[in-house]
Structures are given as structure tokens and as C-alpha cells.
Amino acid sequence: EAEVAQSPRYKITEKSQAVAFWCDPISGHATLYWYRQILGQGPELLVQFQDESVVDDSQLPKDRFSAERLKGVDSTLKIQPAELGDSAMYLCASSLSERHEQYFGPGTRLTVT
Amino acid sequence: QKEVEQDPGPLSVPEGAIVSLNCTYSNSAFQYFMWYRQYSRKGPELLMYTYSSGNKEDGRFTAQVDKSSKYISLFIRDSQPSDSATYLCALGDDKIIFGKGTRLHILP
């Protein structure tokens, strides 16, 4: 069964350091999403791609966060510099297109010390 | 009023019972509705997807949507200890909004 892949699964970093997360969506899925999930909350959208183009990044803190999906397949989310408040689960999801079911990866749990 | 309201629980029920999980929403523009199951420290797993009012059944799971009341439900029949998880509702139009999730404990 096809799955969304993410790495690393866990990351511990010191504040002010740079950190990057990688996501490989289900093959053929044109839409890719990055979410942040704080413990006890639902996922909140950070950025949405349609192929290689950003569709929605209105909730992405652009002073420190960046995301790219250069070839319209896999994607990288970067934080620089990391802050204590960035500690959370970062989830990647993909779907065939907008308004289709979203399938999530296992997530990257980030701890900033 | 938040767009999506979901009781965080925890909800504890005995094994074999029928579980009812619910979300209410305020935005009548939502057109499609999903339920996810999330185990601790894992990514959400899609259980049900529907875009119309009424019931949709898949095995032990039934999703119910009442657009007139802005109310959605997930029923789990013959609940098992392995169903213990957090259940998230998700509602979409141009973007998807998630509820905060309900923690469910099935007691053996």
C-alpha cells in the first residue's frame, strides 16, 4: 500500500539552529500539504502545494519558515532559526488533487531546547 | 465561535459498546467531511470521507452528516481496545479545518 514518507521521525535541536524536514508523497498525488500539530490540538495547515506551486502559505511564518517542492514531487520544510515555540509534530499529507482525501505521513516530532 | 467544535474527552467506554463521536460546525460552506484516527505519536489515518448528507458505512464504522444541523458523527460498533486513539474530524471547502480531536479509551 502506498504511503507518505517523512524523515527524520524525531529531531532535537537547539534554539537558533536550522532544521529541515523531508516529505515524499504518494506517487501521482499532485497536492502536498505541510501541517503543524501541537499536543492536544488538531493539525493546522502551514503550506499547500499544487504540483510545484504554492497554493496557500498564509499561515506559514515566513520570517523563519520556508518550503519548496522544486520538481513537484518531494518537498522540504525548513525552519531557521528554530525557536522554543516551534516544538511540535510536523505532518506531511498528500492528495490526488484539492478536495480529495488527504493521506498523512508518520510525522516528524521536533523538540527545540 | 470556532469553526469546528469537538469535545476533547477523554471518552471511556467498555469493550463491545457502540461509540458515538461528534463535531459541530458553523460554516455552511463546508462541502466534504472526513474522520481520522490518530494513535499516540503517529500521523492521522483516514477512516471515512464523505461529501453528502446521510450515512456512509465501512465495516464497523459509520459516518453521519447532517448539513442542516451542521453536525457530523462517527459511530464505532463492537468497539475494541485497539480502537483506543484520538479521533479527529476534518471539514473542507477551499481548505480543510480540523477539530481538536476526541481521546477515546476502550476498556477491556
Q: What is the pLDDT along chain A (113 residues), one digit of tens a residue?
A: 689 999 999 999 999 999 999 999 999 999 999 999 999 999 999 999 999 999 999 999 999 999 999 888 999 999 999 999 999 999 999 999 887 889 999 999 999 99
Among A89, A90, A42, A92, CA closest to A69? A92
Q: What is the pLDDT of residue A1?
A: 67
Give the residue among A102, A106, A7 at the shortest CA–CA distance from A48: A102
Segments of chain B with pLDDT less than 70: 1-2
Angle at B30 (CA atoms; ends B27, B32), nearest 5 degrees: 155
Among A42, A89, A98, the residue with its CB nearest the CB of B88 is A42
Q: Given CB atoms, is A102 within the 8 Å cutoff of chain B? A: yes
B31 touches chain A (CB under 8 A): yes
Query: B95 vs A102: CB contact, 8 Å cut-off?
Result: no
A11 in B contact zone (CB under 8 Å): no
| B36 contacts chain A (CB < 8 A) | yes
